[in-house]
Amino acid sequence: MIAEDDDKQAELVRRYLQREGHAVTVVTDGRAAVEQVRRRAPDLLVLDVMMPRTDGLDVLRILRAEAYELPVLMLTARTTEDDLLLGLDLGADDYMTKPYSPRELMARVRTLLRRSASAAGPRGAAAPAAAPAPVEEHLITVGALVIDPERHEITLDGAGVDCTPGEFRILTAMAAEPGRVFTRQRLLQELHGYTRYIGDRTVDVHIMNLRKKIEHQPKKPQRLLTVFGVGYKLADPAKGAGRAS
């Protein structure tokens, strides 16, 4: 789905997506975007920030609040770092500023679709049909933190943790190798499959948001630790490793 009020921009993106075999729906205002996501459950949303009725940031707030996990790629003429970080903080999976290369946009769409293809169940807020209980060996456990990659679920001390798709990918990658230090560049690759045009601050925002969700005191983390001058690592506080390096 494309949510873009500029007819020429929307038509350009639509043609490129159709060339790659995608069925495309175009809406021209934010309220219609929310309604159509609820109705059609698209696989991906290309979302312009500046739109009538409801802007793209509010669209994103609404969809994430309603637990829609579809990948969202935001487009905007705003170029400041604060705008970028706000979009990521609200749950955008990727962010491109205008003017942009349509070929690069298609590359990012392909990456987002590949990353989301393994998520269990249909898109949208509705609960998936009953499925067999997860097999224990599929779970990734770091102390009280448990990740189920097949069902796209995270629990901490038995309680569910709501994460954006980007946050889920970062935490899953780090939990698979607890104690290993991940550089920002490595985490960017986990997020997008490439690092060009994307700054390190993208990772910092995701880490900051994850700490709010899995740390009892986000400003004094015991699980998701900073290794100064290198990157981040995930540790089990119960094993005495929960302190910054």
- The model's pLDDT over 65-83, given as tens digits with 9 standing for 90+, comes to 888 888 999 888 776 666 6
Q: Answer yes or no: is pLDDT of 26 > 50.
A: yes
183-215 confidence digits (pLDDT tens)? 988 888 777 654 444 556 778 888 988 999 999
Strands 224-227 and 94-97: unpaired
Instruction: pLDDT band for 134, please (50, 70, 90 cuts).
Output: very low
Q: How confident is the model at residue 86 (pLDDT cuts 50, 70, 90)?
A: confident
Closest CA to 51 of 20, 82, 83, 28: 28
On the question of pLDDT at 119 being above 70, the answer is no
pTM over 0.85: no
Q: Return the top range by mean pLDDT from 21-35, 76-90, 102-116.
A: 21-35
Model confidence band, residue 181 (pLDDT cutoffs 50, 70, 90): very high
99 pLDDT higher than 80: yes
Average pLDDT for 48-56: 90
Lookup: tokens for 6 = 């500029």
CA distance 195 to 60: 24
Q: Is the dihedral of CA 140, 231, 201, 235 positive or negative?
A: positive
